[in-house]
A and B are shown apart, each in its own frame.
Chain A
Amino acid sequence: MSAFPAASFAQLQVTGVVMDGSTGERIPGVSVLMVQDPTIGILGVATDIDGHFTLELPGGTGRLRFSYFGYKDLLVIVADSNATDMNVRLEVDVARLDEMVVTGIVTNVRRRNLANSVATISAKELMGTTSPQTFDGALSGKVIGATITSNSGAPGGGIAVKMRGVTTFYGNSQPLYVVDGVFMDNSAIVPGLNAVTDAQAGGNPVQDNMSNRIADLDPADIESVEVLKGATAAAIYGSRAAAGVVVITTKKGMGTGGTQVHVSQDIGFARAQRLLGVREWNAQRVEDTYGTSAVSLFNEAQAAGRITDYEKEVYGETALLLGTRVSARGGNERTQFYLGGGRLNEDGIVKHTGYKRYDVRANVRHQVNERVSLGFTSYFVNSDADRGLTNNDNTGVTYGISLAFTPSFIQLQPDGGNYPNNPFASSNVLQTRELVKNNELTYRTMNGLTLKALLQNSERSTTRLVGRGGFDFYSLRTRAYFPNALQFQSNGAGTNGASIQGRASNLSMNMYGALVNEYTFGANNLLTSSLGATYELGKLDHMRVTATQLIGTQTNVDQAGATSVTQDRQDFRNSGFLVQEELDLGGRYVINAGVRLDRSTLAGDITRYFAYPKASLAWNIARMPFWNNGAIEGLKLRAAYGQSGNLPPYYAKYTLFSSANTSGLPGSLIDVTRGNADIVPERQTELEGGIDLSYKGRFTAEVTVYNKVCYDLLLLARMPPSSGFTFEYVNGGELANRGVEIGLGAIPVTGEQLRWETKVAWWTNTSEVRKLSTPAFTPNGSFGNSLGTFFVEEGRSATQIVGVTGNVLEDGTPEIGVLGDAMPDFQMSFWNEVTIRRNLALRVFVHWKQGGDNINLTEFLTDLGGTSPDFDEDANGNGVADGIDRLSDAGAQHFVQDASYVRVRELGLYYTFPDKARGKVLKGMRVGVSLNNCFTFTKYKSYDPEVSNFGINGINTGVEVAPYPSSKRAFLHIAVDL
């Protein structure tokens, strides 16, 4: 090892071009590093858009390492003889053995030495095929081992991610997102629609269909995503890692080769993936459903030709999608930058809904001197989502619930500006669509700073200091407006108008610092030791005013006859220490062991440190001396163990008081849920083993099995009501998830004319509730046994769905039995890229989810309203209309429906103009067309088998109540490089 000499005595100018070894396609963005540099790559550049690079080597000779995602590293010794016009050909590495993967907060390891399964998603896989609206949408189906479900089709995102099964019932169920070292908040801020919809009347949690805030990230900025699914990989993130960690790296600048400017424009259209249709009416059906008095309405409407398909009227819009991006990357040896800006303007498939996002990013890295470098990332985003009024309610006002009770012969069109009242439902859906506003507006900034310094450097030992920190701050405004002209807000109905406005500001800040020592011994052994400290804080302040009895058409909350105000503040601090040792014995054995010590103000005892240990071993059999099969380049056995935690929610440790006033006197009344001052974080223990194989760089296989046990689960235990409390927080459950993940990759054909790369993944997970210190319970978010409900019970799958079976027991009570399970039997994904003559690329991404049930209550509502499209069919041939059959079925079985699907999520065809077509100004140009979620094959009887009425809350994904229909999207893409 050697240090980079401070003074240069001879300079060597190196130039060349880097291309794909088989197709000859030039590769931009290849990192070219001088190997002598022991520290942080002081001397390094990246290739430009044409694959060119220029570099000044201090000294007359040197070794350059060329590395690029998806290719094998290449080491070239450079001297005067070959320094100019180098022709560097990189070999594709489908197994990605050289890719760097995080193993600690500050350490990386090459994938060939990794002992865990870490899913990595490249920019090409994330956004290279089509343009999903939000980052969460772009991730769907692409993480092996995860179940990712979008909550609805409402503009602005909203998605639930479960890594390797359910990990909690009442704690945080979503992974931790880390963007360039900054922890990104993923809260879902409640807009308070419940004041009008009363959806929570039955004691259920929020059903306001809000987005979770990871949607604010512009996916086009992302270079790669690494997913740490369980505790084996995520232990070093400690008490916030139990639901997994998603490590996101954004694009960075390049050394030389001038500044590259990339401009792209997407133009697209979206339509509903599927509409259910409406019931065909005749006089007899009208009479049977609504009584004789309605028949004249029907006859009148039919005579006047006024039969309207209101579903199509509301959900049938064709939405225009526009996306524009400009980015630039460049720099010199000492300073590199990436600048990006984007504008997204997408309409929804319902009038007056849509999503807009404006964002800018600046990532700068500067080498202060040969020992110290600074990195700075900065992001600002403004997102604006009009999400419409959907999901469950108890007042009959959301689009879907209103439609379910609106037959097609009713006249809802406005007469002048006045909408007629809907005689069969409590709202006129056209009026609701026109007048109701439900908006989320976010201003958000994320900034991070990285300091790296070389402290010590000797023949065998190098010591670095890495410090990294940043903050994520957003200010969110929610605004829901229900004017008093609405059918359900006038003439004594509702509250004579409602204006519900919320303001949330959230700050997350985190920083860490670590000393990392690399010590070389023996022939080729490396010991990497890290010691660090971490600190995290979060502060949320959310205020919401619900103004009712509105004055005229005013929307300000003071222009009202009555207001109520709520405020929720949360504040937590975590801090901890980490120690990690990694021993690499000649690349043959890699042993990693570490521990993170964490304490938090969210735990009962704020001074107590919780320890999360981990250990792993990788054995590279193909590197052993006895191995002499050259074709099998990689054969690795690996085993890993780790623990991580999940902090209790802010409320769990305190017993609080509500305000209860009388005669204007302020009062404090004890809450019915008792806090627990001894509460500890939920803990997860994971054991994982696997085998990785790569054959001639053209075929790769990765098989992983895991056993993940979550214990000390946070539960709500019932208390005798004479204690004054009804529930108490306790740590008292144990839940196991077991699964298998298989990933295969291959390049069956490679050559200048045709190249085909394919990847197939298969994964499955089963869960079992091992222990409960409370009786079996229905988790938050349920409509009871008669409609089917999740039910957490010892010895059963955590996601089982139970309900009344329709049988009656001997004692006359209805039988309750298992009706289904939301957990898929397995999932598969297929990614294919076919490149023809280097210029034409076809990419297809298909996702198959087999099994996993939903509770479809949309059909229940249309049956109740008598408007189901198949109401009059008689599939079972019993002479009774199916709608009547379903309504008279005492069992809940027919609500629990198989939500299997095969979905062509992404399909893109791109043409890159050949070199000779490029001009002086235009360095490159690409055009393409793509389809997003355009083809879905499913037997599920509603808009989309991917749905969640309760959002990201807990385990109850897959309950459907009148959602915003999902859309399919088609795009034309044009991109130029300047």
Chain B
Amino acid sequence: MKRTRSIAGRGAYWGIAVIVITLLFATACKKYDDTNLNSPSLSGLLENATVAELNNLVTGTEAQLRANMGFYIDAVGIVGREHYRFSNSDPRYLTDLLGAGSTVLDPNGFYITNPWEARYRCIRNAYILIGSADNSAFVTQAERRGYHAFARTLIAYQLLLNLNLTDANGVRIDVADPDALGPLVPRAQALAAIMDLLDDARNDLVDPSTEFAFPLSAGFAGFDDPAGFLRFNRALAARVAVYREQWSAVPDLLAASFMDLNGDLHNGAYMSYSALTSDQLNDLFYPPNASGEVRLAHPSYAMDIEAGDDRINKAPLRNDTLTQADLSSDRDVAVYTSNIDPVPIITNEELVLIKAEADIQLMNTGDAISALDAIRTAHGVSPYAGGTTEQELLDELLKQRRYSLFFQGHRWIDLRRCGRLGELPIDRPDDNVWVRFPIPFAE
């Protein structure tokens, strides 16, 4: 059959077609928005962050200080024979960490990878804060210095904690650009770089115009403005100077910190915890007399303590004695009394002990003894009556550090830097004391 008729109104249909097709093509060519609906995205924050967004980064960085501190304290505390960790889910606390038999520390082990990753995640967040503050048009130069000083101080602190784990194996210092990571840097060089970061931050903080446009948590009460934060920064610097054995630098650093020989020893900067949304609970707390997952004080803690020392309360007697893998203890670790207790970053007690150590090294024996006595009397022990040779005083200092800073991750590091790891007790014949952790495999 052949087509014979033309149909009226054909033009109208073509008109409709043109409209429909044009609409579709227009839709198909439309410009789209490219933002994520669920959370801020990196590219967005780096572009032109508002003050509120920068402050979110500050809080996020501060919040991350707490991540995996349970693993960190367990790692250095168990190796340093401060406590045992009994666990039904993981035997490696009592094998790998105590060097049982032929076991070695695993570069994929949770005890190194978890804290290492958490610290560098905090550092990444701090670098993002720096980059965002630099690119933000909403902040003044004075406020920008505030963000810088905060970020660099925390970066230094986080690097120091990782270096505490790996020591001579080093850490990666230059990590500002995730796509161009610097080399692993040995200990001395790393400590110098950490000190440089702290000093950079100090230079910003001492500028009288510098402002903190951000709030900090309750744990930083008294340290949440440039002047206060400077005292915190110098306190960390004093710890680093001790690690570097730059004794003559210590007095000035302490003077610029919040050290107070007669002040409250608990004064200091803390990590705070709460049960609020997206907050964290203190993972160093276990209820007393628990079973299954427990932390127990190393038996030597009670054996070596002087009579009357109130620091025995950090390791109270349990109702029962627990035994696992030929290890037993009848004392809980009870440094914290609830799952929202704050955890110290650095306190006046440590600063007084730093003063004592520097005084010993600088031969200011009298000052050293009065600093030690400030600690002893605060804990209900009579003033120091022992010998006054450098060796004797150092013995006393390390003992006070052991009890004052118990379960804060110091003993192993102190003994290591003093070359005294051999003094640590060995519980089982085939156990070993590790000197350092391996660099995580994924590095």
Residues of A within 8 A of B32 (CB): 573, 601, 606
A655 to B42, Cβ gap below 8 A? yes
Which A residues lie within 8 Å of B13 (CB)?
371-372, 453-455, 465
Closest chain B CB from A374 CB (angstroms): 13
Beta-carbon contacts of B41-66 to A below 8 Å, as 1s and 0s? 11101000000010111111111101
Cα distance A924–B53 when bound, in Å? 71
Given contacts A657-B39, A660-B63, contact A666 B56 (CB under 8 A): yes
**A453 with B63: in contact, given A658-B39, A669-B125 (CB under 8 Å)?**
no
* Residue from the set A657, A672, A675 with the largest chain B CB neighbour count within 10 Å: A657
Question: Interface code B24-40, partner A: CB below 8 Å = 1, 0 otherwise?
Answer: 11011110111011111
In whole angstroms, what is the CA distance A748 to B303 when docked?
Answer: 94
Are A656 and B36 closer than 8 Å at their CB atoms? yes
Say how far A462's CB is from chain B's closest CB, in angstroms: 9
A569 and B120 within 8 A (CB): no
Interface residues of A in 665-713 (CB under 8 A from B): 665-670, 672, 674-675, 677
Contact of A575 among B1, B29, B55, B271 (CB under 8 A): B29
Q: Which residues of A contact B1 (CB under 8 A)?
A: 1-2, 36
Query: Beyond A718-B442, A724-B123, is A668–B278 a contact (Cβ under 8 Å)?
Result: no
Contact of B124 among A459, A664, A725 (CB under 8 A): A725
Give the residues in chain B near A657, CB-CB below 8 Å.
Answer: 39-42, 45, 56, 60
- Whether B274 lies near A656 (C-beta < 8 A) is no
Interface members, chain A 442-482 (any B CB < 8 Å): 451, 453-459, 465, 467
Instruction: Tell me whether B178 and A669 are in contact (CB under 8 A).
Output: no
A721 touches B36 (CB 8 A): no
What's the minimum C-beta distance from A840 to chain B, rounded to whole angstroms? 46
Residues in A with CB closer than 8 Å to B127 are 724
The answer to whether A659 and B7 touch (CB under 8 A), given A2-B2, A453-B16, A721-B116, is: no
> Is A564 positioned at the interface, with any CB of B under 8 Å from its CB?
yes
What 0/1 pattern do residues 155 to 172 of B give for CB contact below 8 A with A?
Answer: 000000000000000011
B154 to chain A, nearest CB (A): 13
Contact (Cβ within 8 A) B277 A661:
yes
B279 within 8 Å of A (CB atoms): yes
Shortest beta-carbon distance, A671 to chain B, in Å?
Answer: 8
- Determine whether B17 belongs to the interface, using a CB cutoff of 8 Å to chain A: yes
Given contacts A515-B17, A656-B41, A726-B117, contact A662 B62 (CB under 8 A): yes
Q: Which residues of A contact B276 (CB under 8 A)?
A: 661, 664
Q: Which of B64, B121, B171, B215 has the most CB of A within 10 A?
A: B121
Q: Out of A457, A565, A665, A720, which one reaches B442, CB within 8 Å?
A: A720
For the complex, give the distance between the alpha carbons of A512 and B16 in Å: 15
Chain A residues within an 8 Å CB radius of B14:
455-456
Q: Is B21 an interface residue (CB 8 A)?
A: yes
Q: Are B117 and A6 in contact (CB under 8 A)?
A: no
Residue A628 CB within 8 A of the other chain: no
The answer to whether residues A456 and B10 also contact, given A465-B16, A657-B60, A662-B272 and a CB cut-off of 8 A, is yes
B41 near A669: Cβ-Cβ < 8 Å: no
Contact A722 B443 (CB under 8 A): yes
Nearest-Cβ distance from residue A530 to partner chain B, whole angstroms:
12
A668 vs B179: C-alpha distance in the bound complex, in angstroms?
22
Given contacts A36-B1, A654-B36, contact A533 B53 (CB under 8 A): no
Residue from B29, B41, B45, B175 within 8 A of A675 (CB atoms): B41
| Shortest Cβ distance from residue A427 to the other chain B in the assembled complex, whole angstroms | 18
A3 to B315, CA, bound (A): 98
The answer to whether A567 has its CB under 8 Å from any CB of chain B is: yes
Contact B124 A723 (CB under 8 A): yes
* Contact in complex: A512, B24 (CB < 8 Å): yes
Task: Report how far A663 CA is from B280 CA in the complex, Å.
Answer: 10
Cross-chain contact B178 with A721 (CB below 8 angstroms) = no
Nearest CB of A to B435, in Å = 21
Q: How far is the CB of A147 from chain B (nearest CB, A)?
A: 33
Selected contact of A5 from candidates B5, B27, B34, B66, CB within 8 Å:
B5
Q: Tell me if A719 counts as interface (CB < 8 A to partner B).
A: yes
The residue in A533, A571, A650, A658 that gathers the most chain B C-beta atoms within 10 A of its C-beta is A533
Q: Cβ of B27: which chain A residues have Cβ within 8 Å of it? A: 511, 533, 535, 575
Contact partner of B217 (CB less than 8 A), chosen from A458, A568, A571, A662, is A662
Which residues of chain A come closer than 8 Å to B64, judged between CB atoms?
660, 669
B42: chain A residues at CB < 8 Å are 654-657, 670, 675
B426 adjacent to chain A (CB < 8 Å):
no
Q: Is A577 an interface residue (CB 8 A)?
A: yes
Report the 8 A-B pairs with minimum CB-CB distance, sorted nearest first.
A724-B124, A667-B59, A667-B60, A2-B1, A663-B217, A655-B42, A723-B178, A669-B60
12 sampled A-B residue pairs with Cβ under 8 A: A465-B16, A465-B21, A567-B38, A573-B32, A657-B41, A658-B278, A659-B39, A662-B271, A663-B217, A668-B56, A669-B61, A721-B120
**15 new A-B contacts at CB < 8 Å, known A601-B32, A606-B34, A724-B120:** A6-B7, A459-B2, A535-B28, A562-B275, A575-B29, A577-B25, A651-B36, A654-B41, A657-B40, A665-B217, A667-B59, A668-B60, A672-B121, A725-B121, A725-B124
